[in-house]
Amino acid sequence: MKNHKNKKNQKSPNDSITISGAEAVVRCLLAEDANLVYGYPGGAIMPIYDELYKYKDQLHHVLTRHEQGATHAAQGFARTSGKVGVALATSGPGATNLVTGIADAQIDSTPMVCITGQVASHLLGSDAFQETDIIGISTPVTKWNYQITKASEIPEIMAKAFYIARSGRPGPVLIDITKDAQFEMFDFNYVKCRGIRSYWPNPPLNTNHLEEALKLINEAKKPFIVWGQGVILGQAEQEFKAFVEKSGIPAAWTILGLSALPTDHPLNRGMVGMHGNYAPNLLTNECDLLIAIGMRFDDRVTGDLNTYAKQAKVLHLELDPAEVNKNVKADVALITNCKISLKALTKRISKNTFSKWLKRFDALDVIENEKVIKGDLFPIKQGITMGESIAMINKYTKGDAVIVTDVGQHQMVACRYAKFNQSKSNVTSGGLGTMGFALPAAIGAKMGAPAREVVAVIGDGGYQMTIQELGTIFQQQVAVKIVILNNDFLGMVRQWQQLFFDKRYASTEMTNPDFVTIAKGYHIEAERVEKREDLDQAVGRMIASEKPFFLEICVEKENNVFPMIPSGASVSDIRLE
Amino acid sequence: MEKKTYTISVYSENNVGLLNRISAIFLKRHINLESFSTSESEIPNVFRFVIVINITPDKVHKIVQQIEKQIDVIKAYYHTDEETIFQENALYKVKSSFLFEERQIQNIIKASHATIVTVSPEFFVIEKTGFREETEQLRKDLSPFGLLQFVRSGRISVTKAKMGISEILNTFKNNN
């Protein structure tokens, strides 16, 4: 990977100088510490690309092979670095190709700024070549968007874009810039955005509510924590760990909360939700206090809301007021960054343990271990399981890797079995469930955390949705490890067809190409494993490699992921087989 | 939960695209609006949307939360009819000949406290401000005479309670 550190700019970004709108965009990016961007050029954004050429020593542009790849790479970068990801595209199809990634970033609260070129302002509304109303199209899936038609708007709008993307509950912002505004010369002066009068991203902690929350915690006999990505986005991992340890309350994670607390922490009791662990799902309906931290009660977490934690009081720690009482009614809500509320709570609670309550978790863990985990991790049948593949990755990465997953069975299995020692290590498409996310996201994840091992675990279906990004990996020499768990099926859909559609496997069987040959075509070292006895060494070689590496693991074709809460069923109806 | 009529008041910046952003919130939830109107508010450069919907209390609360979440929205409120003073405005275009030939029309206009906005040899225009039932009644009364055109505005409303938008804006000013 090239060095894309921001070497000190000779031209100070604070001097007022006459430059073009396009150059201003690049200088705004540098002023916001965005020295790595992903994108794809085209007619309406060429003036900006021309400036990128001039500024290439300071700002590294990664040419993806599709604009969707640029957004997912920007997301992956944001998720591991904690910084704002940036994606560039031209007007028309370039802009519309960003939409899936933007929607993904919106629902998973990922800070991202997308910049699109637009036809010249005098052509707006004329159905000009490659004109599309990207502001209209992206409105429902952006935190904010804006169309710039004059160069003089660029500094203020770009400053707002970065401020909005990263503050409060983060999200994607799209800035559409007409081509004439990119060419226009103006006096540039950059001032960072410090606030917007209609936007209050940091609500303060309500001390009355804090007292009520403390009362709930002090009275609880069987309290239970479910945490989400809010802990990571709020940079509250330390505060969260301190709260869990002092309160002694067992805690489980949503898929996006994964890695905020180390996997082997004794109070980390696994995953909630559709393919989550047995104990935390069942005990959701047994606890007397449910403490939800930085999570939004997604339907994949709650199942049927009418039978979800009805016996429990609910304490919700959440930054976004619109998420409070949206799906689950909170008895008490602390609407602020959980870094603040957790710190305040920890200070006031007394040290506690719930040994009897924890034994309930242990007992149910034994059942899940017997019925599910043993067969996944130590199979006696011939075919390789997804579970043992993940366990093998654990063996070599020792829980220190960033694991990037796509969507489907492999994602659920990877999240269930991957070990994590540190935060910001799980990169996946949670809310939107975007197949094709993982390969480009892994590129960004590695560039956002270059010192870390990044392993992308992908299904054979999702892999082929953005397989062209192998070109980006090759060109940039991004040392990601790509593991395809190949069952020649769209496995999750096939599982549903088996369980709920009488095994009518409509369009889920895939006739796949030779993935190893394809990877080799991009000059990426590649191997295929078909037998269990070859798995260990192949994974070993992959992790030992310092270059991009592709490993296809041919797994058992018709394995299912359990436990499973059928769609719309109660968490109490979790199935083990 | 039973549905009720709510008036949502949104104070916002005057930015292109915000209308689209607010309407998208309703579209996403498959909710039809009763009426929608917008104008500048009592504060210069601050706009006010008045949206009327028939919906359950739980849903109106969630929708207002989503509206308020939009970056350019300063504050959003919702109120029941009892908490607001509201009016609608309607225009009725009728053939002029009726005004002279049908005595009844003059009685209808008088009884409804409507005003005649303009009279020309071909047509005359009546204006009526009031509640929905009142403008609707006048429409019913006039329709036997062949309404050439009828149009009704969205609801405009002010609340009985204080809104406090200036305070919000001042707090921001003082903090920044």
CATH number at residue B62: 3.30.70.260
Asked if B63 and B117 sit in the same domain, the reply is no
Chain centroid to CA A303: how far? 22
pLDDT at B99 over 90: no
Would the CB atoms of B176 and A143 count as touching at under 8 Å? no
Nearest-CA neighbor of A19 among A45, A44, A50? A50
Q: How far is CA A111 from CA A101, A143, A452, in A?
A: 12, 10, 21
Question: Scanning the structure block, which residue is given the tokens 């609407």?
Answer: A335
A492 counts as catalytic:
yes
In a domain, A51, yes or no: yes
How far is A193 from chain B, CA to nearest CA, in Å?
11
Q: How do A223-227 and A251-253 pair as beta strands?
A: parallel
Helix/strand/coil for A403: strand
In a domain, A434, yes or no: yes
Q: Residue B124 belongs to what domain range?
A: 86-152
Identify which has the larger pLDDT, A16 or B93: B93
Task: Report the pLDDT value the prediction gives residue A255, as an integer from 0 to 100.
Answer: 98
Nearest-CA neighbor of A552 among A482, A472, A464, A469? A482
How many CB atoms within 10 Å of residue B111? 11
Would the CB atoms of B71 and A322 count as touching at under 8 Å? no
CA atoms within 13 Å, Cβ hemisphere of B38: 15
pLDDT at A11 over 70: no
Would the CB atoms of A326 and B17 count as touching at under 8 Å? no
In a domain, B171, yes or no: no
Give the start-end residues of each E strand in A345-439.
Answer: 402-405, 426-427
pLDDT at B172 over 50: yes
In a domain, A568, yes or no: no
Asked if B94 and B141 sit in the same domain, the reply is yes
Would the CB atoms of A139 and B73 count as touching at under 8 Å? no
Asked if B61 and B94 sit in the same domain, the reply is no
Asked if A256 and A150 sit in the same domain, the reply is no
- Residue B19 and residue B38: Cα distance in Å, rounded? 9
Asked if A349 and A492 sit in the same domain, the reply is no
Q: How do A289-293 and A268-271 pair as beta strands?
A: unpaired
DSSP A117-163: EE--GGGTTS--TT---HHHHHGGG-SEEEEE-SGGGHHHHHHHHHH
- Residue A521 and residue A471: Cα distance in Å, rounded? 10
Final residue of a structural domain among A326, A361, A396: A361
User: Residue A146 is which amino acid?
Assistant: Y
The values of phi and psi at residue A108, to 5°, are -100, 15
Would the CB atoms of A197 and B28 count as touching at under 8 Å? no
Residue A30: exposed, middle, or buried by beta-carbon count in 10 A (0-12, 13-18, 19+)? middle
Q: How many domains does chain A contain in total?
A: 3
Instruction: Give A4's pLDDT tier (boundaries 50, 70, 90).
Output: very low
A465 counts as catalytic:
no
Q: Are A327 and A300 contacting, i.e. CB atoms less than 8 angstroms apart?
A: no
Q: Are A345 and A264 contacting, i.e. CB atoms less than 8 angstroms apart?
A: no
Asked if A352 and A474 sit in the same domain, the reply is no
The pLDDT tens digits for A318-348 are: 999 999 999 999 999 999 999 999 999 999 9
Asked if A444 and A408 sit in the same domain, the reply is yes
Asked if B131 and B145 sit in the same domain, the reply is yes
Residue B174: exposed, middle, or buried by beta-carbon count in 10 A (0-12, 13-18, 19+)? exposed
Asked if A134 and A247 sit in the same domain, the reply is no
User: Residue B43 is which amino acid?
Assistant: I
Final residue of a structural domain among A331, A361, A391: A361
* Residue environment code for A482-497, b if the CB has 16+ CB neighbours within 10 A, otherwise e: bbbbbbbbbbbbbbbb
Nearest-CA neighbor of A276 among A302, A241, A311, A305? A302
How many CB pairs lie under 8 A apart between chains A and B? Answer: 51
pLDDT at B62 over 70: yes
- Residue A528 and residue A347: Cα distance in Å, rounded? 53
Give the start-end residues of each E strand in A2-153.
Answer: 17-20, 36-39, 60-63, 85-89, 112-118, 144-148
Task: Report the pLDDT value the prediction gives residue B98, as an integer from 0 to 100.
Answer: 82
Asked if A316 and A231 sit in the same domain, the reply is yes
In a domain, B166, yes or no: no
Instruction: Give B101's pLDDT tier (boundaries 50, 70, 90).
Output: confident
Asked if B64 and B109 sit in the same domain, the reply is no
Nearest-CA neighbor of A9 among A31, A36, A25, A34? A31
Final residue of a structural domain among A129, A155, A188: A188
pLDDT at A1 over 60: no
Asked if B27 and B55 sit in the same domain, the reply is yes
Task: Report the pLDDT value the prediction gives residue A16, as an integer from 0 to 100.
Answer: 82
* Biggest CA pair distance of chain B: 68
Q: Partners of A268 in the beta sheet?
A: A251
Instruction: Please give the helix or strand (H or E) that residue A259 lies within, else none.
Output: none
Contact list, A320 vs chain B (CB under 8 Å): 69
Q: How far is CA A181 from CA A120, A186, A191, in A?
A: 8, 10, 19
Would the CB atoms of A145 and B72 count as touching at under 8 Å? no
Asked if A184 and A230 sit in the same domain, the reply is no
- What is the mean predicted confidence (pLDDT) over B151-173? 92
Q: Does A297 touch chain B (CB under 8 A)?
A: no
In a domain, B160, yes or no: no
- Residue A397 and residue A272: Cα distance in Å, rounded? 25
Q: What is the ipTM of this complex?
A: 0.93
Asked if B71 and B100 sit in the same domain, the reply is no
In a domain, B66, yes or no: yes
Two tokens, residue A159: 């400053």
Chain centroid to CA A264: how far? 22
Q: What angle do helix axes A409-417 and A491-500 make, rounded to 10 degrees?
A: 100
pLDDT at A7 over 70: no
Task: Report the pLDDT value the prediction gives residue B1, as an integer from 0 to 100.
Answer: 81
Two tokens, residue A248: 């002694």
Q: Pick the catalytic residue: A83, A160, A179, A222? A: A179
Task: Report the pLDDT value the prediction gives residue A475, as an integer from 0 to 100.
Answer: 98
In a domain, A4, yes or no: no
- Residue B6 and residue B29: Cα distance in Å, rounded? 16
Rounded to two decimals, the pTM is 0.95
Q: Does B176 touch chain A (CB under 8 A)?
A: yes
The pLDDT tens digits for A223-251 are: 999 999 999 999 999 999 999 999 999 99
- Residue A182 and residue A24: Cα distance in Å, rounded? 8
How far is B45 from chain A, CA to nearest CA, in Å?
12
Contact list, A191 vs chain B (CB under 8 Å): none
Q: Are A301 and A295 contacting, i.e. CB atoms less than 8 angstroms apart?
A: yes
A476 counts as catalytic:
no
- Residue A319 and residue A519: Cα distance in Å, rounded? 43
Q: Give the residue ranges of DSSP H helices in B35-162.
A: 57-69, 96-101, 103-111, 132-142
- Residue A312 and residue B46: Cα distance in Å, rounded? 43
The pLDDT tens digits for A183-233 are: 999 999 999 999 999 999 999 999 999 999 999 999 999 999 999 999 999
Asked if A44 and A177 sit in the same domain, the reply is yes
In a domain, B50, yes or no: yes
Distant-in-sequence, close-in-space partners of A138: CB < 8 Å, separation ≥ 6: A95, A98, A99, A102, A114, A145, A174
In a domain, A560, yes or no: no
The pLDDT tens digits for A400-449 are: 999 999 999 999 999 999 999 999 999 999 999 999 999 999 999 999 99
Task: Report the pLDDT value the prediction gives residue A3, as an integer from 0 to 100.
Answer: 45
Two tokens, residue A448: 């956002």
Question: Scanning the structure block, which residue is given the tokens 């080799």?
Answer: A520
Residues 111-170 of B with CB under 8 A from A: 169
Instruction: Give A10's pLDDT tier (boundaries 50, 70, 90).
Output: very low
Helices (H) and strands (E) counted in chain B, each on its own, are: 6, 9
Average pLDDT for chain A: 96
- Residue A192 and residue A34: Cα distance in Å, rounded? 13
- The CATH number for B113's domain is 3.30.70.1150
Instruction: Please give the helix or strand (H or E) that residue B158 lies within, else none.
Output: strand B156-159
Task: Report the pLDDT value the prediction gives residue B173, as an integer from 0 to 100.
Answer: 86
Q: Are A165 and A171 contacting, i.e. CB atoms less than 8 angstroms apart?
A: yes
- DSSP 3-state percent helix, strand, coil across chain A (nearest 5): 40, 20, 40
pLDDT at B151 over 80: yes
Asked if A175 and A227 sit in the same domain, the reply is no
Asked if A214 and A181 sit in the same domain, the reply is no
Instruction: Give A2's pLDDT tier (boundaries 50, 70, 90).
Output: very low
- Residue A366 and residue A277: Cα distance in Å, rounded? 11
Two tokens, residue A57: 């020593």
A525 counts as catalytic:
no
Task: Report the pLDDT value the prediction gives residue A19, as an integer from 0 to 100.
Answer: 98
- Residue B94 and residue B107: Cα distance in Å, rounded? 15
Q: Are A90 and A44 contacting, i.e. CB atoms less than 8 angstroms apart?
A: yes
- Residue A520 and residue A513: Cα distance in Å, rounded? 13
Nearest-CA neighbor of B70 among B15, B17, B14, B22? B22
In a domain, A335, yes or no: yes
- What is the mean predicted confidence (pLDDT) over A149-153? 98
Asked if A429 and A538 sit in the same domain, the reply is yes
Task: Report the pLDDT value the prediction gives residue A15, as an integer from 0 to 100.
Answer: 61
- The CATH number for A540's domain is 3.40.50.970
Asked if B96 and B133 sit in the same domain, the reply is yes
Q: Are A548 and A524 contacting, i.e. CB atoms less than 8 angstroms apart?
A: yes
pLDDT at B176 over 80: no
Q: How many domains does chain B contain in total?
A: 2
- Residue A126 and residue A29: Cα distance in Å, rounded? 31
- What is the mean predicted confidence (pLDDT) over B92-103? 86
Asked if B43 and B17 sit in the same domain, the reply is yes
- Residue B55 and residue B115: Cα distance in Å, rounded? 34
How far is A104 from chain B, CA to nearest CA, in Å?
16
In a domain, B161, yes or no: no
In a domain, A399, yes or no: yes
pLDDT at A60 over 60: yes
Q: Residue A111 belongs to what domain range?
A: 17-188
Would the CB atoms of B73 and A198 count as touching at under 8 Å? yes
Q: Pick the catalytic residue: A46, A130, A150, A468? A: A130
- Residue B162 and residue A189: Cα distance in Å, rounded? 40
Asked if B137 and B120 sit in the same domain, the reply is yes
Asked if A45 and A169 sit in the same domain, the reply is yes
In a domain, A2, yes or no: no
Q: Are A439 and A467 contacting, i.e. CB atoms less than 8 angstroms apart?
A: yes
Asked if B127 and B66 sit in the same domain, the reply is no
